[in-house]
Amino acid sequence: MTVKYFSSFALRITLLMIFLFYSLLISSQNIKSILNSKSEIRIKLTQLEAVSLRFTGTNLDSAKYVARLMDSLAETTTDYKLQSDYKWNYAVMLVFSKPDQALQKAYDNLQISNKSGDCKLIAKANLLLAKLNWYIPNQGKVFEYYDKAIAIAEKCNDKETLLLVYSYSGMFYFNTQQYNKNKEFLFKMEKIDSTLRKDAGHNSDIGDIFRAMNALDSADFYYMKAIKLIEEKKDSLGMMGLYYNYSLIPRAKGNFKLAIEYCKKGLLIAKKLNDLKAIINGNKQLFDTYSEIGDLVNAKKHLLIVINKNEERNCLDCLIGEYRRLSEICFAGKSYEDSYTYLLKSVSLFESKNNSGTNANLAKVEEGNLKKQKQLEINLINQQKEAEKRIKNISFIALGISFILIIGIIFSLVKIKKSKKLLQIQQVETEKQKHLVEEKQKEIIDSITYAKRLQDAILPRQEFVNSHLKNNFIYYQPKDIVAGDFYWAEKFEDLFFIAAADSTGHGVPGAMVSVVCSNALNRTLKEFKLSTTGEILDKTRELVIETFEKSSSDVKDGMDISLLCIDYKNKNIFWSGANNPLWYIQDGELKEIKADKQPIGKTDNPKSFTTHQIQYKENSTFYLFTDGLADQFGGPNGKKFKYKQFSDLLLKNSSLSQEQQYDLIGKAFLDWKGTLEQVDDVCVIGIKI
């Protein structure tokens, strides 16, 4: 930075500070003059509101200060509505910084409203308490106050109050996935205000609900109605959002051409508005759509744009996941070198994000070590000087000793010195060997730890599984750093697949086999477009054998697997298994479907895998698992856990939530294992429909 530039920069900062100080001084004087004026309280409040608006978005503390003054001033009146309005305003300002004070103001508001006897004020006061408890959050209280607000507003039968209460309540019920309740309120709002039927935002809200409920035809109707209305108004921002939202409907129906068309319409507006986040979201949607239809070229193109834009805004969290997805796209397109490069970028970003403070700490430790080492060297030199001094003194005394005695002493000293030197050489060599072993061990552990990151990259993200299976748990406990067990999930058209698999071996060899098997499963869907569970396992076996046949040695590795397919649209469930069975609980009874007794891999007399169809019944729970838990040694007598004890555990706790079942399975495994070594990888998946 030059002196000239620095002076200019400093001048601008100084002027800005003077301006802000002057603005605050003027505002402070304005507030004082307003409060001291002889105007009516309502006029003072209006003037203070104008001052408060100047602070909005620039100085929140000052805005809160003015809001407190307005609240105090309103309290001096006998106008309950005025008091209620300013308490509402002040409470909302306090909710994030001082939630307890915000709630107290809301309770004061309720007390004033009850005292007024005005049912509109009482309804709004309960609405405010619901809103604040949602922000804090305290969901139990939210329900309580929304229900009160709704009941009181309906009793009042005041149009404005009803619309306000229904609007806020609807948003809450949508966010808690109670879509029917939200839909009910939106249609009630139409009955109160018929003009909403021609409001684009209102119709878009209804479309959002039907999309969330997977009622795609109804969602299509309301989105198209909203689009027509917003296009008539020529509202660019509104059109962009609606185009993006609507594109998800034809995509879910399998009309990918129309989905891409509307998404591109939205993206075109985002570019004109130069809205960076909207550009990123549009390209993400196009990436997802092209990925779903297996168009890897266009998927990669739009993902690269997303990465480029997130690099512009330096969003490291975004880039970690996006480079990993780019690695997956390259892997699916058989660009293995690029896949590895992008995966390394993802890992590198992850490490730099999580280890940003590590280098500084290491430098401090190293500096401390160097100081200690220097001090030791100084001490050693001092000791050597002292020793030399003592030797000289002894030499002078020894002059009177006979020549033979001197020769004997010298001979003894030489011998001792040789022995000492030999001992030092041996110690140095031993230390070298020790360091060498430690370095090799560290290299091996570092390599395996990195391999774990690579293996983790093939496992489906929990958010992806949760988006398709609302009630699930995945208990995954590798024996070593990397595992032979893995779980797999993928969406194909209207079907959702999930599997628990056990590759041959565990540790590093098992992990390598798991990568081959997971890739084969992906190819059966994305490349060969198979959708029947039995056919998927048949093709997977073929691909796994084909991969290992490239080796000159006879490799018989593969996997056992339990593969479930859920068709929500047609209410069907299908399953196939290789050596691993399926357990499911319906009407309080645990049922089992036995697997085909053959692995995914080389086997004598291979047969086609069986596809089993299971009755789709709500509140049924399905369990996919490997043999790791049942084979674990432990308990009082050091015996296997066994399948009987495992099935009893699941049946006994099947009524609990998936999260509670996850905790109980983990506790049962650790309690049984105790201090014994884990014998195998463990994977258990629970799914409730």
Mean pLDDT of 388-407: 50
What local confidence, expressed as pLDDT, does residue 449 receive?
A: 62
Q: Using pLDDT thresholds of 50, 70 and 90, give the confidence band for residue 354.
A: low
Query: Are the C-beta atoms of 183 and 206 separated by less than 8 Å?
Result: yes
What local confidence, expressed as pLDDT, does residue 15 receive?
A: 40
Mean pLDDT check: name the lowest of 27-31, 79-83, 495-499. Answer: 27-31
b/e for 665-681, b at 16 or more Cβ within 10 A?
beebbeebbeeeebebb
What local confidence, expressed as pLDDT, does residue 360 receive?
A: 45
Strand segments, DSSP code E, in 134-223 are none
What local confidence, expressed as pLDDT, does residue 233 receive?
A: 86
User: Is residue 409 pLDDT above 70, yes or no?
Assistant: no
What local confidence, expressed as pLDDT, does residue 335 receive?
A: 79
Q: Using pLDDT thresholds of 50, 70 and 90, give the confidence band for residue 447.
A: low
Mean pLDDT of 252-262: 92
What local confidence, expressed as pLDDT, does residue 353 receive?
A: 65
More confident residue, 124 or 414: 124
Mean pLDDT check: name the lowest of 93-97, 330-334, 551-555, 602-606. Answer: 551-555
Mean pLDDT of 460-473: 90
Amino acid at 134: W
Name the nearest CA neighbour of 606 among 541, 520, 532.
541
User: Is residue 362 pLDDT above 50, yes or no?
Assistant: no
Residue-wise pLDDT for 420-445, tens only, equals 666 666 666 667 666 666 665 565 56
Query: Are the C-beta atoms of 557 and 513 separated by less than 8 Å?
Result: yes
Mean pLDDT of 157-164: 81
- Name the pairing type of β-strands 582-586 and 621-625: antiparallel
What local confidence, expressed as pLDDT, does residue 250 receive?
A: 92
Percent of the chain whose pLDDT exceeds 70: 77
Which range in 47-56, 299-308, 329-338 is most confidently predicted, on average pLDDT? 299-308
More confident residue, 30 or 160: 160
Burial class (CB in 10 A: 0-12, 13-18, 19+), 65: middle
More confident residue, 466 or 135: 466
What local confidence, expressed as pLDDT, does residue 422 receive?
A: 65
CA separation for the pair 595, 593 (Å, rounded): 7
User: Is residue 529 pLDDT above 60, yes or no?
Assistant: yes
What local confidence, expressed as pLDDT, does residue 413 receive?
A: 59
Strand segments, DSSP code E, in 478-580 are 485-492, 495-503, 559-567, 572-578
**Residue 394 phi, psi (nearest 5):** -65, -40
Specify the DSSP class assigned to residue 196. Answer: G
User: Is residue 554 pLDDT above 60, yes or no?
Assistant: no
Cis peptide before 137 (omega within 30 of 0): yes
Q: Using pLDDT thresholds of 50, 70 and 90, give the confidence band for residue 487.
A: very high
What local confidence, expressed as pLDDT, does residue 9 receive?
A: 41
Percent of the chain whose pLDDT exceeds 90: 27
**Residue 431 phi, psi (nearest 5):** -65, -40
Residue-wise pLDDT for 273-318, tens only, equals 998 889 999 999 999 999 889 899 999 999 999 999 988 888 877 8
What local confidence, expressed as pLDDT, does residue 267 receive?
A: 92
Q: Which residues pair with 498 in a beta bridge?
A: 489, 564
Query: Are the C-beta atoms of 566 and 496 separated by less than 8 Å?
Result: yes
3-class secondary-structure state, position 423: helix
What local confidence, expressed as pLDDT, does residue 363 receive?
A: 44
Taking the whole predicted model, whether its pTM rises above 0.75 is answered as: no
Residue-wise pLDDT for 592-647, tens only, equals 999 999 999 888 889 999 999 998 998 899 999 999 999 999 988 889 999 999 99
What local confidence, expressed as pLDDT, does residue 97 receive?
A: 79
CA separation for the pair 262, 264 (Å, rounded): 5
What local confidence, expressed as pLDDT, does residue 123 receive?
A: 87
Which range in 146-155, 257-266, 378-387 is most confidently predicted, on average pLDDT? 257-266
User: Is residue 12 pLDDT above 50, yes or no?
Assistant: no
User: Is residue 685 pLDDT above 90, yes or no?
Assistant: yes
CA separation for the pair 627, 484 (Å, rounded): 12
Residue-wise pLDDT for 453-462, tens only, equals 666 777 888 8
Mean pLDDT check: name the lowest of 113-117, 200-204, 319-323, 360-364. Answer: 360-364
Contacts of 510 (CB under 8 A, 6+ apart): 482, 483, 484, 485, 503, 504, 681
Tokens at 585, concatenated: 């609980």
What local confidence, expressed as pLDDT, does residue 412 receive?
A: 60
More confident residue, 71 or 382: 71
